[in-house]
A and B are shown apart, each in its own frame.
Chain A
Amino acid sequence: MKWLIFAWKNVMRNRRRSLTAMLITALGTAAVLGSGGFALFTYQSLEEMTARDTGHVVVAHARGFDGDEDVPLQHGLADSTALAAKFAALPGVRAVAPRMQFSGLISNGDKSAVFVGNGVVPDIDFRLRGPQMNFIAGQAPAGNAPQPEVVIGNELAHLMKARVGSSLTLLSTTTEGNLNAVDVLVSGIASVGVPEIDKRLVLADLVSVQKLLLSDKVGTLSIYLKATADTELVAARVREMQSGLAVKTWRDLAVFYQAVRELYNRIFGILGAIMIVIVLFAMSNTLGMAVVERTREIGTLRAIGTLPAEIVRNFVLEGMVIGGAGALLGMVLAGTATVFLLFAGIEMPPPPGRSAGYPLLLSFSPPLYGAVAVVVIVLAACAAWLVSARAARKPVTEALAHV
């Protein structure tokens, strides 16, 4: 404790210089925590977005993910109701959503366009998608409506000049390879935030799609969990239960998430490295000057029996005091920014390929704060060690003669 008090007193010897180093360290820490918090928020948002889109665990026919079918639903899942019931009984499972992907042409009588659709159970699916599905007009299709209902993407609605209540025709290939058509009513117009998807999006009641495709199979079963952290556990359990089926997690299917994560890891990794160098330089500079100024004092302490390692330890403690105070201040700054952004409502512009922006928020992660603080303190200690080790080993007479 006494050594720490001496370290603090030595730090306070040249307040302005120590304060400058402390502020640089604090800003570096805050920058790393801010960017790290932003990256974490992005990862969490993308994670949620992907999981809400695909489900946490997706089960398909053994060749269901190949995309190599001669006719629609060639590799579909039969007896999906029983399977869904089995999966729904697993611990941690929130719901199981059967889905069937289909494609074809959509027409308003005057004009046709290609669509990529999904047959879903509206009661389950739209609830699970949550804010992922932004309704611009109307609502989800009713499962028991006299005429099949669909939700279409806003870009497709624009193309088809369709509104809620408009009648459209879906034309698709059946499981037998023939063409079939069904008239549908537009119950809602929605956007998933990606114009390219909104231009083709059709979400229809699963039963209607099965009728259109002349099949009782489904394409996949999307298992939604109560906690994303349980994904691997549940996936393993499903694999055990149904070894003949293909099981993928949201992570396997989230190409965009992985790409963004890789990109951000690199960007923020480089930023972190730059911050490390800045902190290292600031600390080395401050402590280096202190070492030079106190060379004579080092000589005195060495003469009266202080070991070089003890001299270095004293400087390391000083470095840790500056680094610790800087890290603490940086954490306060980053924490304040996190809270401020929570209430400020600042929007980020839409990312490339997307039509909607997203809120600028920073995630508060205690492990991140702890890790950054430890790294900063260790860096400060290393800088102190680097600059003081040589001076501590200087011959005592030389140190005492230093002017």
Chain B
Amino acid sequence: MNPGPRTLRLDGLRKSYRVGEASVEALKGVSLDVCRGEMVALTGPSGSGKSTLLNLCGLIDAPDAGNRELCGTAINGLDETRLTGLRREKVGFIFQGFNLVPVMTVFDNVEYPLMLLGVPPAQRREQVATALQRVGLEALARRLPDALSGGQRQRVAIARALIKSPALVIADEPTANLDSTTARQIVDLLHELAHERNASVVVATHDERMSSHCDRVLHLIDGELQ
């Protein structure tokens, strides 16, 4: 695969946490480039810093040191409003626990990011219908998340993450709570849709089936990329 333009650039990221009196260094100068359309798997044992790195990639946490760039925009020094604006436009999230809003229907959950972007209602309806059709849930559009299976919920989460055609998708153990057949379907779907939309995907996973679909697999051990 020919690497496209760079979506994400991480340079010498450091992050430490205080645990009681002690300071634990979660990331020790991580540098990483993710190109457009590239799917990168982040693997490593628990406590290796995967989630921390994922949070920094998704702009929901700030490093102690190092630089980040998303689609050519330097992240350091941006205020919370600008960061939120960047996430709104350019980053999609898929969580291990699906994190759908329980009072919103499947349709509303997928529509939400478009509402934030101020997309007109008619256009939203059309886009959501297409997205739900793409993940095979068009018949369940009016259901609430509680009425769906785990696999169906994760499909909704994928549709929600990709509806706005983000430059970057952050997926945290997206198959962890699913049985193997469903997990397989989710892996295929995420892979297919991300490539279709030319989105860069950074996925933290322990799942071999997931990482085998990725363009690159990075091992993180004790806060360092191997």
B103 lies within 8 A of A304 (CB) = no
Given the interface pairs A6-B108, A297-B99, the reply to whether A303 lies near B87 with Cβ below 8 Å is: yes
Judging by beta carbons under 8 Å apart, are A397 and B61 in contact?
yes
A10 touches B84 (CB 8 A): no
What residues of A have a CB within 8 angstroms of the CB of B55 in the complex?
396-397
Instruction: Across the interface, name the chain B residue whose C-beta is closest to A9.
Output: B103
Count the B residues whose beta carbon is within 8 Å of the partner chain — how many?
27
Chain A CB within 10 Å — which of B61, B93, B102, B103 has the most? Answer: B103
CB nearest to A307 among chain B residues: B84
Any B CB within 8 A of the CB of A395: yes
Chain B residues within 8 Å of A305, by CB: 84-85, 87-89, 91, 113, 116
* Chief secondary structure at chain B's binding surface: helix
B-side contacts of A9, CB under 8 Å: 103-104
Main secondary structure of the interface of A (DSSP, over half): helix
Cβ < 8 Å to B, chain A residues 291-332:
296-297, 300-308, 310
Question: How many whole Å from A185's CB to the nearest CB in chain B?
Answer: 83
B89 / chain A contacts, CB cutoff of 8 Å: 305
Which residues on B sit within 8 Å (CB–CB) of A400? 60, 95, 99
Known: A296-B99, A306-B116. A397 touches B84 (CB 8 A): no
Chain B's nearest CB lies how many Å from the CB of A391? 14
The 8 A CB mask of A1-24 against B (1 = contact, 0 = none) is 010001001101100000000000
B50-83 residues with Cβ-Cβ distance < 8 A to A are: 55, 58, 60-61, 80-81
Query: Which residue of A has the minimal Cβ distance to B115?
Result: A2
Residue of A nearest to B93 (CB): A303
Q: For residue A395, which residues in chain B have a CB less than 8 angstroms away from its CB? A: 60-61
What's the Cα separation between A303 and B61 when bound, in Å? 10
- B29 CB to nearest A CB, Å: 20
- Choice from B61, B104, B116, B160 contacting A396 with Cβ under 8 Å: B61
Question: B54: shortest Cβ distance to chain A, in Å?
Answer: 10
Determine whether the beta carbon of A297 is less than 8 Å from that of B80: no
Question: Would you give the shortest CB distance from A45 to chain B, in whole angstroms?
Answer: 50
Interface residues on A, range: 20 to 34
Contact pattern, A 386-403, Cβ under 8 Å of B = 1, otherwise 0: 000000000111001000
Chain B nearest CB from A60 CB (Å) reads: 70
Shortest Cβ distance from A399 into B: residue: B60
**A300 and B101 contact, Cβ closer than 8 Å, known pairs A2-B115, A6-B108, A396-B61:** yes
Q: With A6-B104, A297-B99, A397-B55 in contact, do A304 and B112 touch (Cβ < 8 Å)? A: yes
A303 to B103, CA, bound (A): 18
B160 cross-chain contacts in A, Cβ below 8 A = 304
Indicate if the CB atoms of B104 and A304 lie closer than 8 Å.
no
Q: Assess whether A303 is in contact with B116, with CB atoms less than 8 Å apart.
A: no
Contact B80 A304 (CB under 8 A): no
A397 and B103 within 8 A (CB): no
* Known contacts A396-B60, A397-B61; A10 and B103 CB within 8 A of each other: yes
A254 vs B103: C-alpha distance when bound (angstroms): 59
**By the criterion CB–CB under 8 Å, are B116 and A304 in contact?**
yes
A10–B102 alpha-carbon span in the complex (Å): 9
68-111 of chain A: CB within 8 A of chain B: none
B84 and A306 contacting across the interface, CB-CB below 8 Å: yes
Q: Which residue of A lies closest to B86 (CB)?
A: A305
Residues of chain A within 8 A of B102, CB atoms compared = 13, 297
Would B81 and A307 count as touching, CB distance under 8 A?
A: yes
Closest approach, in angstroms, between the C-beta of A244 and any C-beta of chain B? 71
Within 8 A of B (CB), among A162-220: none
CB distance from B6 to the nearest CB of A (A): 22
Q: Is the CB of B103 within 8 A of A301?
A: no
A10 to B144, CA, bound (A): 13
A2 to B119, CA, bound (A): 13
Contacts of B101 in A (CB 8 A): 297, 300-301
Given contact pairs A6-B103, A10-B103, A297-B101, A304 touches B113 in the complex (Cβ within 8 A): yes
Judge whether B60 and A302 touch: CB under 8 Å. yes
Residues on B with beta carbons closer than 8 Å to the beta carbon of A297: 99, 101-102
Q: Which 3 A-B pairs have the closest CB atoms?
A: A305-B88, A396-B60, A9-B103
Given contacts A296-B99, A304-B87, A397-B60, 10 further A-B contacts (CB under 8 A): A9-B103, A297-B99, A297-B101, A297-B102, A300-B101, A302-B84, A304-B88, A304-B91, A308-B80, A400-B99
Question: What are 6 A-B contacts defined by CB distance under 8 Å?
Answer: A9-B103, A300-B93, A303-B87, A307-B81, A308-B80, A396-B55
